[in-house]
A and B are shown apart, each in its own frame.
Chain A
Amino acid sequence: MQAKKRYLILFSAGACLILLLYFGGMQTPLSKSNNRRDDRSLDGHHGSPQWHHFSGSLQPFSPWDQMETEEYNVHISPRQKRDVISGVYNGKRCRMDSCFDFSLCKTNGFKVYVYPQQKGEKMSESYQNILSSIEASRFYTSDPGQACLFVLSLDTLDRDILSPQYVHNLRTKVQNLHLWNNGKNHLIFNLYSGTWPDYTEDLGFDFGQAMLAKASIGTENFRPNFDVSIPLFGKDHPSAGGERGYLKYNSIPPYRKYVLVFKGKRYLTGIGSDTRNALYHVHNSEDVVLLTTCKHGKDWQKHKDARCDLDNAEYDKHDYREMLHNSTFCLVPRGRRLGSFRFLEALQAACVPVILSNGWEMPFSEIIHWNTAAVIGDERLLLQIPSTVRSIHQDNILSLRQQTQFLWEAYFSSVERIVLTTLEIIHDRVLQQAARSNLMWNSLPGGLYSLPQYSSYLGDFPFHYAKLGIKPRPKFTAIIHAVTPLVSQSQPILKLLVAVAKSQHCVQVIILWNCDKPLPAKHRWPATAVPVLVIDGESKVMSSRFLPYDTIPTDAVLSLDEDTVLSTTEVDFAFTVWQSFPERIVGYPARSHFWDSNKERWGYTSKWTNDYSMVLTGAAIYHRYYHYLYTSYLPASLRGLVDQLSNCEDILMNFLVSAVTKLPPIKVTQKKQYKETMMVQTSRASRWADPDHFAQRQSCMNKFASWFGSMPLVHSNMRLDPVLFKDQVSILRKKYKDIERL
């Protein structure tokens, strides 16, 4: 018994000892770590890891540099300083301040001169497209004395010495240009530079102070706000117009069959091969399909590695287009150079590009926020890419995808778009404080259709009301286009004037006197509640009805022909409709276009149809901005055509607005049948009575379509009526009674 107890005590004491040792053992590493911490504090760390908020008497860092500035000012004159800059910062350190002569743009605005093409100089099709886009643009001038920017007629696109397109002796050819002036105010386009094996970004000639519009440009060589990064595009990239994006509708959920795809060459050796060679690590052949082929170039067999045969077999199994259309994300890894064709392909296909090209200055990075349309990855983190793209929320995918389409159509769909965007970016730099804001570039309808000379305030454009949380001003200005002399007091124009001026939304009526007869005396115009302004048209041409008159104080313009018959109610109703659709044309009589497959051209119809794609601007409400756009954006050739024919101005306006909005105009209901009846009744002078009139309009349409590069008009099936229109309810209940009364 005693022995038992003794054992018990011994045992318990032993147990305690073991426990003690155990805790002691725990203690040892702890104290060790303490020691380590102490060690660290010796080589710079302090005992505590936390940052402490030091209180008490700390000195301020004193941000004012008055004294210094005063001293500095004594030594340096600002003018001298500016002169010094242009001497110091040139070549690789060029900026607009130091390498660009703004004074050339002062007198004539932003004009671009293209050197005449020299005989015997070969030129690639792409470069020809670039030059013809410039020549067709409103910036073009044939007079070098007026020019602000100069573009060479020497093909600089392909500077790969191994390429058949390579232009030799560029150095001397450029130096011999008498306007070269060490490249000042010159713009050089380039798609490919350097050659195998290292593909440096060397152009092989001294471009002096010229700006580069270059594809695959690296951040190290890119001179910010001086060079322009352009996308790499192929020979068959359309010269103008171009295809629309492939996205036809927004699908929910937005996921497609594949998460991430890629199909392209793999470079076995040399620059740019690392990323593509590593792609197989993330390929899972289910929803992440990254296919590469070694089969390119002459001697691929020589360098071929163990995976080549397997890769090549997989590669041939999949159709690239099928993958492109059915994937949420598309990988765009660097090729030999930083940019690759995959980029534009993905963009057009609404496949969100996942960029793996470290150091690539993204195309038009100066103005485009790429985070809203692409995923910028890091080549070093290739293995994280699948989990990164999977973590992107479906709402983000929806918006990324739509943004790819917007950007594609706004800036990339054709050579013309790319060139114009490049020019507009430089134009913005010349405009300086009047340049476009980021929002104009990155939201619909894009920078090319938002002309900052019109206004630098976003709220003056019809596109951004919702984004800014504001509404258009609830008033309109009527512009009546008068072409016949005022002889009787019963002329339709007078009735129209009275009816329009009576509208509660009307603040001003402008009569544009485009008649050869002198202005009628003031008292001949009826008295109205709102001011009537008569403008004696100087040129008496058709396009002058769309001039951006300063005397239009409102956002909305009601454009009218002199023979239009409208009641106040109709005007009021149309205006309330316009307030819901301020970016579109809202009007009464509508017309339609169709593709005439027999004659292989566009047809115009004024017949009664179940749909329409234009509304006549003889009676339509639209935003004042379109006057500016019509006058400034459209080339003189189209406006000249309109003036010469005295016809088609309404078609051109519809083309323009639909090209901007990608949407049809809106037809509202009208009381009487307009024009169709008028054509018979009104004076013989009416242009509608002219038998050539219709044929002219048909040919106008085709000319316009060819300038726009595609047919911008869109059909609509509906008309907007007042809510109770023709409903079986007392007419007294209806707000717009007059529209129904005959």
Chain B
Amino acid sequence: QQCVNGPGAIMCASGKYSSRGPALIPRMKTKHRIYYITLFSVVLLGLIATGMFQFWPHSIESTADWGLDRRSVHDAPLIRLPVANPIPERGDLSCRMHTCFDVYRCGYNPKNRIKVYIYPLQRFVDEVGVPISSTGLSREYNDLLSAISDSEFYTDDVTRACLFVPSIDVLNQNSLRIRETAQALAMLPRWDKGMNHLLFNMLPGGPPDYNTALDVPRDRALLAGGGFSTWTYRQGYDVSIPVYSPLSADVELPERQPGPRRYFILSSQTAIHREYRAELERLKEENGEALLLLDKCSNLSQGVASARKRCYKGQVFDYPQILQESSFCVVLRGARLGQATLSDVLQAGCVPVILADSYILPFSEVLDWKRASVVIPEEKLPEMYTILKSIPHRQVEEMQRQARWFWDAYFSSMKAIGMTTLQIINDRIYPYAARTYEQWNNPPLVKWSSVNSPLFLPLIPPRSPGFTAVVLTYDRIESLFRVITEISKVPSLAKLLVVWNNQNKSPPEDSLWPKIAAPLKVVRTKENKLSNRFFPYDEIETEAVLAIDDDIIMLTSDELQFGYEVWREFPDRLVGYPGRLHLWDHEMGKWKYESEWTNEVSMVLTGAAFYHKYFNYLYTYKMPGDIKNWVDAHMNCEDIAMNFLVANITGKAPIKVTPRKKFKCPECTAIDGLSLDQTHMVERSECINKFASVFGTMPLKVVEHRADPVLYKDDFPEKLKSFPNIGSL
């Protein structure tokens, strides 16, 4: 009999005693026996019941949950609104995050993410039982709330929430009874003057003047509205959202390659004011085939199908497919500023031409609409053709791609719209962790190919801090000492750091080291690893690092000083002496390493190279994939890895300085003989292929230049040159 923990353990323990019972009981007096047995069974039953209670409640509740999930909207509790219930105040136009939003609710959290609570669904009816909304919960609002509840923003704990989303659907003001909806909002248990409440509305206003914001009084609630004008939009408080188009879900339009289209301008809206239609027709007369003016089809029967058809002089076109046939698509304001057409147009990868004065474009707080659309004042409609013609082709293509990307990322579903809205609010509350312009605006393709160098400011650092030479050494003391002596002659040397990689031997005693002017420090490593050379040691106090092997004795002081000067002009690049090249081997179909006398350079060896200390940090902590371990395991290619890393993050080629001289095969230390040399080359080629696959691209850039002193080899007295001793063999 196995006993388990918890109440079960008690049960089995008492069971043991009861099984022994018969042996004991006969010796007892009968009245006692009955008494004990009764007591015992009561206790036992009690325990069983307790155990049951401990385990059951959750599952009881969860089955109840499940049942509710299956229930339809009609099973949501009915709430009757008394006529006298209070109505919230109209939205306060001066509300901003610092005045109308309680930031304490959001608190400080390591993930920098707000918590969003959704009120459970209720059906509100007025005193006579008429619902406050003709549609109730719409499909779209249900999708939106479901998306929020599935997201990382969601919390079911009302006490921890920073933002509250009512389940009262106000997407379309037309279906609402304004006063009753307002009363329902005010009845929400955490309403508290609308503080931290977020309402989603896509169709605001109603006849005759169509307000550009939801007319429902809502106190301080934030409004995510489609169709704000500059007068109703509270900048930095409200969020302007798109009007969702159901075609997004119904129609699949494959992304088209950017480029010229059959039509230049297309107008697909059916309810265009006659004055505007007249102006469009005038444009059509002037420019003919370049324009396509569509209208609704008069001969088709009204119905769902009519939304998917457009006509021009009896010719029938499929909508929205036809949008893909045009470079620009007109999006004119209607009764409201926000138009669902915008979403269709973006989906088709057509550049929207937006004519809606004072309209706040969707998500304009974060999206750069200049790169995806053309906004023209309504007044300038007659000039539209000229304006659009003046846009360079390449920009039109970029806009087409950008338009489609905006749709994919921010318009395509209610989920996308909801998540974007929450992310925007999140960014306001945690501005220091906000998504960047690039993250919001760059389509994946651009994100992939574009480079944002971490050292982007054009700076030429002053000469005075000098550089720190880092010499990686194992046990070649004699050669090391010669290197140290040579480097010590370089005027800008600030410090010399010897990285002692030999685990079996200690470095020589202090007295044996060469006496040099600059401070000399020896760092003992814990393991003999090549990556030790690129560790961002605290001892490196300068920005410039000279990585140098312990056998590079052939570089003159002029050459090194000149290298440092060149690094100052290019502090974001590798500046080195021996240059190498990668080539595509067409026969083998892979990359090849080249160390011959080539006219091109794509890498410099770090056996002697200047670079910014930042790259040490990157190499040690940010090297992608397993490259670092791979280099340490193979004891090779650390320099190639560094070249990949720098080229990848800066998008720039290294700079080779000074003419080629006879380096003692710097990359194959202590290896002699042709055959070994060849295996070495094979290994290096392997490295390039391996790294290219880890980076997912070939980041190295090929150039055909090297840097020399201004007067190098010029017919000019050597003694007047700053760096006379260059290139001597």
Is chain B a partner of chain A in the same complex? yes
Q: A378 CA to B137 CA in the complex, in Å?
A: 37
Q: A719 CA to B358 CA in the complex, in Å?
A: 54
The answer on a CB contact under 8 Å between A468 and B450 is yes
Q: A56 CA to B51 CA in the complex, in Å?
A: 39
The answer on a CB contact under 8 Å between B138 and A60 is yes
Within 8 A of A (CB), among B338-377: 340, 357-358, 368, 370-371, 374-377
The interface residues of chain A lying within 8 Å CB-to-CB of B32 are 6
The verdict on B502 contacting chain A, using a C-beta distance below 8 Å, is: no
21 A-B interface contacts by CB (under 8 A): A16-B46, A26-B54, A44-B119, A44-B188, A51-B156, A73-B271, A79-B275, A250-B543, A358-B99, A369-B437, A396-B432, A444-B457, A468-B398, A580-B705, A717-B569, A717-B722, A718-B708, A719-B712, A721-B706, A721-B712, A723-B705
The interface residues of chain A lying within 8 Å CB-to-CB of B423 are none
The answer on a CB contact under 8 Å between B98 and A59 is no
The interface residues of chain B lying within 8 Å CB-to-CB of A2 are 27-28
The verdict on A175 contacting chain B, using a C-beta distance below 8 Å, is: no
Decide yes or no: A60 and B139 within 8 Å by CB, A82-B378, A456-B391 being known contacts. yes
Q: Please tell me the number of chain B residues within 8 Å of chain A, measured between CB atoms.
A: 183
The answer on a CB contact under 8 Å between A721 and B708 is yes
The answer on a CB contact under 8 Å between B54 and A78 is no
Q: A193 CA to B230 CA in the complex, in Å?
A: 26
Q: Which among A12, A24, A66, A252 is the interface contact of B270 at CB below 8 angstroms?
A: A66
Decide yes or no: A78 and B99 within 8 Å by CB, A52-B121, A250-B543, A381-B108 being known contacts. no
The interface residues of chain B lying within 8 Å CB-to-CB of A726 are 659, 712-713, 727
The answer on a CB contact under 8 Å between B245 and A723 is no
The verdict on A317 contacting chain B, using a C-beta distance below 8 Å, is: no
The verdict on B129 contacting chain A, using a C-beta distance below 8 Å, is: no
List the B residue with the shortest CB-CB distance to A63. Answer: B340
Q: Which among A44, A378, A391 is the interface contact of B189 at CB below 8 angstroms?
A: A44
List the B residue with the shortest CB-CB distance to A42. Answer: B77
Please choose the segment from A293-301, A558-566, A604-612, A703-711 that sits at the chain B interface, where 4 or more of its residues have CB less than 8 A away. A604-612
The answer on a CB contact under 8 Å between A395 and B96 is no
Q: A18 CA to B465 CA in the complex, in Å?
A: 77
The verdict on B299 contacting chain A, using a C-beta distance below 8 Å, is: no
The interface residues of chain B lying within 8 Å CB-to-CB of A380 are 98, 103-104
Q: Which among A93, A97, A388 is the interface contact of B432 at CB below 8 angstroms?
A: A388
Please choose the segment from B478-486, B596-604, B667-675 that sits at the chain A interface, where 4 or more of its residues have CB less than 8 A away. B596-604
The answer on a CB contact under 8 Å between B231 and A89 is yes
Q: A12 CA to B710 CA in the complex, in Å?
A: 100
The answer on a CB contact under 8 Å between B149 and A381 is no
The interface residues of chain A lying within 8 Å CB-to-CB of B69 are 52-53
The answer on a CB contact under 8 Å between A45 and B120 is yes
The interface residues of chain A lying within 8 Å CB-to-CB of B99 are 358-359
The verdict on B256 contacting chain A, using a C-beta distance below 8 Å, is: no
List the A residue with the shortest CB-CB distance to B341. Answer: A64
The verdict on A433 contacting chain B, using a C-beta distance below 8 Å, is: yes
The interface residues of chain B lying within 8 Å CB-to-CB of A467 are 450-452
Q: A673 CA to B720 CA in the complex, in Å?
A: 18
The verdict on A206 contacting chain B, using a C-beta distance below 8 Å, is: no
Please choose the segment from B35-43, B285-293, B524-532 that sits at the chain A interface, where 4 or more of its residues have CB less than 8 A away. B35-43
Decide yes or no: A457 and B707 within 8 Å by CB, A16-B14, A58-B142 being known contacts. no
Please choose the segment from A217-225, A418-426, A488-496, A502-510 that sits at the chain B interface, where 4 or more of its residues have CB less than 8 A away. A217-225
Q: Please tell me the number of chain A residues within 8 Å of chain B, measured between CB atoms.
A: 152
The interface residues of chain A lying within 8 Å CB-to-CB of B398 are 457-459, 468
The answer on a CB contact under 8 Å between A661 and B271 is no
The answer on a CB contact under 8 Å between B157 and A73 is no
The verdict on A520 contacting chain B, using a C-beta distance below 8 Å, is: no
Q: A253 CA to B614 CA in the complex, in Å?
A: 8
Please choose the segment from A435-443, A478-486, A644-652 that sits at the chain B interface, where 4 or more of its residues have CB less than 8 A away. A435-443
The answer on a CB contact under 8 Å between B230 and A97 is yes
The verdict on A247 contacting chain B, using a C-beta distance below 8 Å, is: yes
Q: A573 CA to B704 CA in the complex, in Å?
A: 8
List the B residue with the shortest CB-CB distance to A726. Answer: B713
Decide yes or no: A725 and B706 within 8 Å by CB, A82-B378, A663-B458 being known contacts. yes
The verdict on B322 contacting chain A, using a C-beta distance below 8 Å, is: no
Q: Return B346 CB to nearest CB of chain A, in Å.
A: 14
Decide yes or no: A719 and B334 within 8 Å by CB, A72-B210, A724-B597 being known contacts. no
The verdict on A156 contacting chain B, using a C-beta distance below 8 Å, is: no
Q: CB-defined interface of B260-286 with A at 8 Å, one 1/0 digit per residue? A: 000000000011111110000000000
The verdict on B22 contacting chain A, using a C-beta distance below 8 Å, is: no
The verdict on A17 contacting chain B, using a C-beta distance below 8 Å, is: yes
Q: CB-defined interface of B137-167 with A at 8 Å, one 1/0 digit per residue? A: 1111110011011000010111000000001
Q: Which among B137, B231, B706 is the interface contact of A723 at CB below 8 angstroms?
A: B706
The verdict on B246 contacting chain A, using a C-beta distance below 8 Å, is: yes
Q: Return A690 CB to nearest CB of chain B, in Å.
A: 26
The verdict on B511 contacting chain A, using a C-beta distance below 8 Å, is: no
The answer on a CB contact under 8 Å between A433 and B376 is yes
List the B residue with the shortest CB-CB distance to A443. Answer: B456
Decide yes or no: A716 and B104 within 8 Å by CB, A23-B50, A433-B376, A455-B392 being known contacts. no
List the B residue with the shortest CB-CB distance to A577. Answer: B705
The interface residues of chain B lying within 8 Å CB-to-CB of A533 are none
